[in-house]
Structure 1
Amino acid sequence: VEIPLKEYLSTKNQQWLVYDQQREVYVKGLLAKIFELEQKLETAPQTLPQQTKKTESEGYLQEEKQYYNHLLANAKKDLEVDQQIITQLNFELSEFRRKYEETQKEVQDLNQLLCSQRKADVQHLEDDRHKTEKIQRLKEENDLAREKLEEERKRSEELLSQVQFLYTSLMKQQEEQTRVALLEQQKQIREFAFTEPLVTFQKETENRGKVTSPKSPTAALNESLVECPKCNIQYPATEHRDLLVHVEYCSK
């Protein structure tokens, strides 16, 4: 838009200058014609035999001079009007250029503002992208942590189930061993009651209590074994704490 506008203004300005020059040439031509007529009038032949011819010649020259004077006046008037028009057009052209330069400055300011706004929008989009990536990363880390927590919960439940099973088995074995020891003791007592007198039975009972008394539940418990459900390794029942540690390690 800027280049065609400048070309248009330059063309119009050049046309007015050419027109002004043409008017000046036209006026100069009229002035030269008037001067020529004046010279003719002054150098008119003085030897004409009759005064009538001289008067007619002078009248013709005077009329022609008046005619060209009238044309010169009109030309000068037109020239002054044209000069006023040219002055007005130059003024309007100057005003138009001033407004055009102001508009150009406003356009440049708007372009700079638009460029700054675009940079700010790009930075805002970049920040949003970083935030989105960070949120996505935190979400993935949270999901991973939940999966690990769920795995740990399942492993803990499985380990707890194994411990409860071992504890139940241990308690059953202790009860069974205690019951067997009591039955064994009752059996021995009945056998001695039928084979020897009461006194002998009492002494024998005392000696047996001192030397070979029946195994207590604790002694029977010491001889019982408990196996790991994973690798079937055996531990004494009294070392059940060590067995629990082994089961946890073996489960891992």
Structure 2
Amino acid sequence: MAEMASSKYKVSLKKKLSSELSVVVSSLRKERGHLKQTLAELSCQHAQLYRLVERVLSLETVRQGSCQHHEVKDQRTASASERCSERGGSLAEGGGITCEVEQLRSQIANMSARCQRLEKKVAGKKYLMPNSQGSTTSVEELQHLLRDALEKNKHWLEYDQHREAYVRGILDRMLWLEKQLNEANQARSMEHKEDHSDEKKELVEMQELYETFLHKAKDDLEELRKEVDLTHKSLVEMREMSLLEDHCCFENEDQQLRELQCRLDVVKRRSANYELQANLIQKCMLNRHHEDQERIADLERQMKISSQDLEDEKQDCSYLKKQMIRVLKTLQKTKKRVTKESKREQEDPPSCEEAQPPSQLSRQNVASSSCSSFLNESFLECPGCLAEYPASHYRELMNHMEICLD
């Protein structure tokens, strides 16, 4: 009982320590998550400011590049106008046509692909024969080409003007956006300064709280370590005790298992014997069943035979009854005859008897004695119970047959 109480106390102490540790760890995790959240918000604000600065710098670079491009376009247009004026003055001269054509080729090649095609045509016509007609045709063609070039230059100038107006609008828009950005940055910086000052205060407070919590946590951890050491020692002792108890229990269980194994062996032997007995009984029952089936078959056969015999006997009885009735009728007839003859003999006078010879008397006596002896010696049987009656008692037999057969 004391060991059980100590083990329960240790288990409850472990649960209490684990619950306190979980509470402290959960509070520290919550504070750590809150600090991470504040740091993430600050990093997001710094990232937004950095993005705004990068955008302003990109806009400035775009503006500078557009200005440079615009200056380059102005220089190109000025040089093209100067060259066109120089070409118009050089038409009066007849000897420097080839040099001007070469200059026009180089200038048109820089302007567009169509000018390149025209330059190819002029280059093909440069190798024509130097007669007067060829020179006039080449001059007319050059004039036509110069007109085309002037028209193209006008179109390019209009396009440059429109582009300059578009670029100026973009620059104005960029300047307005820069102003808006500067104002927004100033307002943001002011808010950021105020927020940053508040955040610094909060961070300082959080840092102090964090340090206090850390000190508390360290103290709690040291106490918990001590408690854990004690619990570890108690656990070691409990483990040793449990090992001893387990060893004893194991020995007891081993002995019980051996006893159970012996019982199982006995039960298996008994079950094997029972199975053998059951098999033998089953075989005996099967044999008996087969014998009973054979007996039943034999009895059925005997029943059929006996029923057939009965039918035959009934037929024989009916036949015998008919024969007996016939015999009885014949007996009655013979009896009537005998009675008639006896009556006649009695009615006859004695003289007649005396007058008769002795041979006739002896014959009549012999006939009557033979008839009576025949009736006494012959027996009739009942077909039901096989009772014997003499032929002279046929009336008794008739009454008996009526009772027995009914």
TM-score relative to the length of structure 1: 0.35
CA radius of gyration, larger in: 2
